[in-house]
Amino acid sequence: MPTAYDAIAQWYDAQVRAASPAGALLVPPLLHLIGALERQRVCDLACGQGDLARLLARRGAHVTGVDCSAELLAIARQEEARSPLGVVYSVDDAQTLERLPEAAFDGVVCHLALMDIPDLAATVAAVRRILRPQGWFVFSLTHPCFQSPHARWHTAADGTVRREVSTYFTEGFWKSADPGGVRGQVGAYHRTLSTYMQTLVATGFQFCAMCEPQATGATRDAKPEYGVIPPFLLMRWVKTDRGCA
């Protein structure tokens, strides 16, 4: 079944490949939370056109990329054919991962995609199923505390930037008013921070670390607001034997 990303696959690929303040801010802490990758079996969940999957493979991981968008995976496979890194791509639903075997991966990474997926609990359960004991789950997402529906930036006459959040507790699907951005085209599922945390704990994950990157230097010059509030949130969790009662 076609997905919202199928319709914008070429545009999205160009956006991901372009050097951007968001990429400069996100990729270093993401790789830091993931850690050493040599010979690890890693699932890149919602891998899109494979940019991160290729980066992980170049760092020594055996990568399987999964996405529901056939158009984005077609781009990923074309890149793999041009420059083989051993990445395997599969069309699958992140909420079931039915094509992936149980306890097959040392780690799962999901980069800026959990907010795209309707059923968080099902997705986290699927991730846990395919992880080996003590397997890790690292993800990044737009920060739920600040990237909530109808949140707005305000710039004062002196250049001071602030963020106004008004509907943080209203969970559900929404679309940005900016038609030129990803969230304006495909939307997102807003959830509170506590929903993310409680879902992971209840499913059988233990919290390890988190990062709220703050822009500095050239990145802050390009996006001053990234130095005021964290636009992204990154976390590392580990599979445990059981969830909380």
Tens digits of residue pLDDT in 44-91? 999 999 999 999 999 999 999 999 999 999 999 999 999 999 999 999
Q: What is the pLDDT of residue 245?
A: 42
Instruction: Report residue 157 as tokens.
Output: 């006459």
Per-residue tokens: 136: 């890790």
Alpha helices in 18-164 (DSSP H): 21-34, 51-58, 70-82, 120-130
Pairing of strands 88-91, 105-111: unpaired
Can you give the pLDDT at residue 1? 55
As a whole number of angstroms, the distance between CA 15 and CA 19 comes to 8
SS3 assignment, position 153: strand
Distances (CA, A) of 104 to 9, 57, 72, 169: 29, 17, 24, 36
**Domain map (residue ranges) of the chain:** 6-143+194-239
Q: What are the counts of helices (DSSP H) followed by strands (DSSP E) for the chain?
A: 8, 11
Q: pTM for this structure?
A: 0.94
Domain covering 6-143+194-239 assigned CATH 3.50.50.60 in the classification: no
- Could you report how far apart the first and last alpha carbons of the chain are, in Å? 38
- Those residues of the chain that have pLDDT short of 70 are 1-2, 242-245
